[in-house]
Structure 1
Amino acid sequence: MATIRKRQWTNKSGTHEAWVLNYMDANGQRHRQQFDKKRDAEARRKEVEEQIGKGTYRPDAASTTLRTACENYEKALEGRKDRGERVTPEYFDNVTGHMWNYIAPTEKPPAVEGKNDPYVRFPHGIGDTKLAQLTAKAVTDFRDKIRASGVGIVTARQILGTLSRVLQHAINDDLLAVNVAKGIRVIGKRNERAKKIVPPSKEEIAALIKAADDDFRVKVIFAAASGLRASEFYALRWKHLDLKAGTVRIETRVDSKRNEDTTKSEAGLREVPLGAAIVTALKAWKLRTDFGKPDDLVFPNGKGNHENHRNLRKRIFMPTLDRAAAEMAKEGKKLKRFGWHALRHFAISTWIEAGLSPKTVQTFAGHSSLAVTMDRYGHLFPSDNHKKAMDAIASSIFAS
C-alpha cells in the first residue's frame, strides 16, 4: 500500500512543504518520492498502485526519459553494426534521423537564408517525457502532431515504428514493461492517396539529352530508357549487360554511403530489354570509357568507384537541365524542372504508351506488387479498351 504524508521544514527563506509518497514494490523494495503538490503525489500513487497490481511496475521508468531510451537504442544499433550484423549505414541514418529530428529533437543551428537547410525543426518532440508517464494517448497525440506538421503517411509510420523499437529495447533493458506505441496506426485521409505520377514530356527529355555533353548524354539516355532506380543505376556493372541480346539484368544496388548490396526485394531482381538505339549508345560508351571490364561499373566516377549521386546532380545534372530550359525558352516554351528520378518515371510512361500490360510494366519496373504500379501509373494506361468493353456489355445486356 502506498502512503502520502505532508513534510514541512523551515530555513532562512521561510517555511516550506512537500508531499512524500512512500510505497513498496512487488519485490519488497521500498521507494520514496517527493512532490511539490499533493495532487501530483496522489496521481503518482494511483499510477504506482495500478502498475504494481498489474505487475508492470519498473522503478527506473519514473526517472528515465524517452531521450535516454533513444540514446540507449542508438548505442545498441552501433554495437550491432560493429559486430557485423545487418545494420546498414542508410538504415542507421534513417532511424537516428527519426529519433533526433522528431521523437527527441536536439537543438539545431539556425537556418541560413538562401541555403538549403538539412535539419528538421519539429517543435513537438516527446523526448523529455519520463517512460513512466508515456501513455498510448501521449503517443497518439505525438502522431497527430507529426501529421499536422505536414509529414506524409509513410514517413509518419516509419517514425512510429522507430519509437516502438526504442520502447521495445527499453523493455529488454527492464526499464519498461509495456510498449505503448505498439499497435498505434497512422491512417491517411480519404483524399490522401498515392500521388499520381506526371512524367516529363518527350520534348523536355529531348532537350535534356541535347544539352548534355557526350559522356553525360549516354547516362541520361540509358536512365530514361531502362527505368533503373538511381541506386541500381550506380551499381550496374558490365557483366549485368548483354549487348548482343539487348538486355540489362538488375540484381544489385548501392546505398547513400556507397555500400553495394542486393536489391531490396525479390521484385527488384529482374531483366529489362533495351532498344537497339540504347545498345548502340552503350557499345560506343564501352569503347570510350577507361572501365570496360566485366566487373567494372558501367557508370563510375573518375576513379572507377561508385558515383556520388548528390555530387552528380549538383555538378552535372542541374546545370544541364538549366541549359535545356534556356534553349526551350528561346522557342517560347517552358521546361518544368524535374529530378533525376523523373527519368525512371519517363521510362515507365513510355512502356505504358507502347502498350505493355500492367503486369509487364510492374515486372520491368521492379515494383513489389501490381497495386504499387497501378496506384502510381494507373492513370497513364489507355482507357479506350475499357470503354469499348463496357459498350459491348451494355449493348448485349441492357439495350432494348
Structure 2
Amino acid sequence: MAHIEDRWFTPQHDDDGKLVLNARGKPVMARTTLYGTGLRYRVCYIGPDGRERKKSFPDRAKQAAEAFMATVEADKHRGTFIDPAAGCMLFGEFAETWLRTRTYDKSTMESLEVRVRKHILPFFGSRPLSSIKPSAVAEWDSELAGVLAQDTRSVAFAYLRMILTAAVDDERIAKNPCSAKSVKQPRPVERRVIPWTYDDVSAIRANLLPRYRPVVDLGGGCGMRQGEIFGLGVDDLDLVGGWVHVRRQVKRVYSRLVFGLPKNDKDRRVPLPASIAAALRAHLAEFPTVSVTLPWEDPFGDERVTVPLVFVTSRRGAINRSHFNSKVWHPALAAVGIPHTRATGVHALRHFYASTLLDAGENVRALATYLGHADPGFTLRIYTHLMPSSEERTRTAIDSLFGVPLRAA
C-alpha cells in the first residue's frame, strides 16, 4: 500500500522498544540525521508491474505528496498509470530511437531525418519528455513561423506529433501535447491548380533539347511523374498495344541516384496514345536506349538493377532531376516567359494531363488510376474545380428526356 515517509523525523521509542506517545496519544517525533537537508517527504508505492517506486517532495509540501499518492492510486485503479520516471527520458534520445525503427523507403527516411534533426531536435532534444507541454509546442511553432514556409512547418509539426504519439504508446507520457486544444496545427497552403494550355506545353517542348522533348509527351500525355519518366525502360513500352507500364522511378537518396518503386510503392499501366507512341518511336530511332545499372532503393545496399533506359544524359547516364531542372527545364520555361516556381515544375504536366482528361469527360476513379494516386478522393480534392460544370449537363439531360419544354396544365 502506498505511504509517505518523513525523512526528517522518526517516531521515538523507549529503552524497551515501545513507541513513546505524547499527552494527546500521538507518537513523539525525533529528528533524524537527515534533518534540514534534501527533500523531506517521500511517497513510496508499488507500480502495476510490482516494482516499488518512490517520489520525493520538499519541506512544507506534504499536501502535494498526499495529492500525488492519491493520483497514483487512482491511476492504477483506472489502468492509466504512467511511471513518472519514464518521462524523464530526453526527447532527443527517444526521437533517435524512433527514427531507427522507421521502415520507410530510403528517400522518405532521408527527408524525415533532415526534418527531425534540423527543425525539431534543436528545440526539444535536451528536454525530458514529461516536461514538454502544449505551451512549449506553441512556442516552437511560433519560432518556425518566422523562418519556414507554412507547408514545411506543417510537415515538421506532423513529425513532432508522430514522435510524441509514440511516447504516449510507450507509456512515457500520458497524453500528446500536440493534441491540446490550445495548440493550433499549421495547415498546408491550399493551392488552386491552374493548368497550362496546349500552347504553353507545346512552346516548352519546342525549347527543350531534342533528346528531352518526349519527357513533355509522357508527362502531359500519360500523366507520368518526373522520376517515373527518367526510370522508363524500353521494355515498359507497348507501342503496338498502346500501354505504358510504370513500374520504377529514378530518385535521389543521400545525393545518390537509385532505382525504386513508383510513389505509393505500386506499379500501374497507363494508356499510351498513338501520337505519344509515334513520338517515342522517333526518339528511340534517334537516341537508342542505354543500359544503366543503379542500386535498388538503398544507395548503400548490395542489390543492383540494370534497365535499358529510354532517357539518359548526353554522357549516357541516368538523369538527375536537380541537374535536369536547373540546366534543362528552367531555361525552357524562361524562353517562353514562364517563371520557375513550385507550380511550374515538370509536375505541372500532370495537371495538364488531368485537366485534359476531365474536360473530355473521363471519370475521377480512372484518372486516379492513371495518375497513380492511392485514393480517388485525393484526386477529386485537387481537380474538382476543373471538372466541367454540371448545370448545362443537367439541362441537356432533361431536355433530351422530355424533348420539348413542359407546358402548364
**TM-score scaled by length of structure 1:** 0.69
Q: Tell me the equivalent position of 1:243.
A: 239
Residue 88 (structure 2) aligned to one of 53, 63, 82: 63
- Indicate whether 1:374 and 2:380 are aligned: yes
Q: Tell me the equivalent position of 1:234.
A: 230
Identical-pair percentage: 19
Q: Residues of 2 paired with 1:314 and 1:263: CA distance?
A: 23
Q: Which consecutive residues of structure 2, in runs of 5 or more, have no partner in the other structure? A: 10-35, 292-305
Q: Residues of 1 paired with 2:86 and 2:340: CA distance?
A: 53
Q: Tell me the equivalent position of 1:345.
A: 351
* Bigger Rg, structure 1 or 2: 2
Structure 1 residue identity aligned to 2:336: A
Q: Please, what is the CA RMSD of the aligned residues?
A: 4.3
Please say if residues 196 and 352 of structure 2, whose CA atoms lie closer than 8 Å, have aligned partners that are also in contact. yes
Q: Deviations over 1:350-379 (max 9, x none)?
A: 222333333332232222233222211122
Please say if residues 132 and 177 of structure 2, whose CA atoms lie closer than 8 Å, have aligned partners that are also in contact. no
Please say if residues 22 and 30 of structure 1, whose CA atoms lie closer than 8 Å, have aligned partners that are also in contact. no
- Indicate whether 1:176 and 2:202 are aligned: no
- Indicate whether 1:317 and 2:329 are aligned: yes
Following superposition, the deviation at residue 18 of structure 1 comes to 6.6
Q: Residues of 1 paired with 2:64 and 2:224: CA distance?
A: 58
| Alignment map for 1:88-107 (pairs within 5 Å) | 88-104=105-121, 106=122
| Alignment map for 1:1-400 (pairs within 5 Å) | 1-2=3-4, 19-26=39-46, 27=50, 29=52, 31=54, 46-47=67-68, 50-51=71-72, 53-55=74-76, 56-58=81-83, 60-77=85-102, 86-104=103-121, 106=122, 125-134=123-132, 137=134, 141=138, 151-152=150-151, 155=155, 158-164=158-164, 166-167=166-167, 171=170, 176=172, 178=174, 180=176, 195-257=191-253, 258-265=257-264, 268-291=266-289, 295-301=307-313, 305-325=317-337, 338-383=344-389, 386-390=391-395, 400=408
Q: Residues of 1 paired with 2:360 and 2:235: CA distance?
A: 28
Please say if residues 160 and 181 of structure 1, whose CA atoms lie closer than 8 Å, have aligned partners that are also in contact. no
Q: Residues of 1 paired with 2:55 and 2:339: CA distance?
A: 69
Please say if residues 249 and 259 of structure 2, whose CA atoms lie closer than 8 Å, have aligned partners that are also in contact. yes
Following superposition, the deviation at residue 237 of structure 1 comes to 1.1
Q: Tell me the equivalent position of 1:116.
A: none
Q: Which consecutive residues of structure 1, in runs of 5 or more, have no partner in the other structure? A: 8-15, 78-85, 107-124, 326-333
Q: Residues of 1 paired with 2:211 and 2:262: CA distance?
A: 26
Please say if residues 143 and 156 of structure 1, whose CA atoms lie closer than 8 Å, have aligned partners that are also in contact. no
Q: Residues of 2 paired with 1:74 and 1:208: CA distance?
A: 42
Q: Deviations over 1:276-319 (max 9, x none)?
A: 33222211221233525694122234565542212211122112
Q: Residues of 2 paired with 1:53 and 1:6: CA distance?
A: 28
Please say if residues 253 and 260 of structure 1, whose CA atoms lie closer than 8 Å, have aligned partners that are also in contact. yes
Q: Residues of 1 paired with 2:336 and 2:167: CA distance?
A: 51
**TM-score scaled by length of structure 2:** 0.68
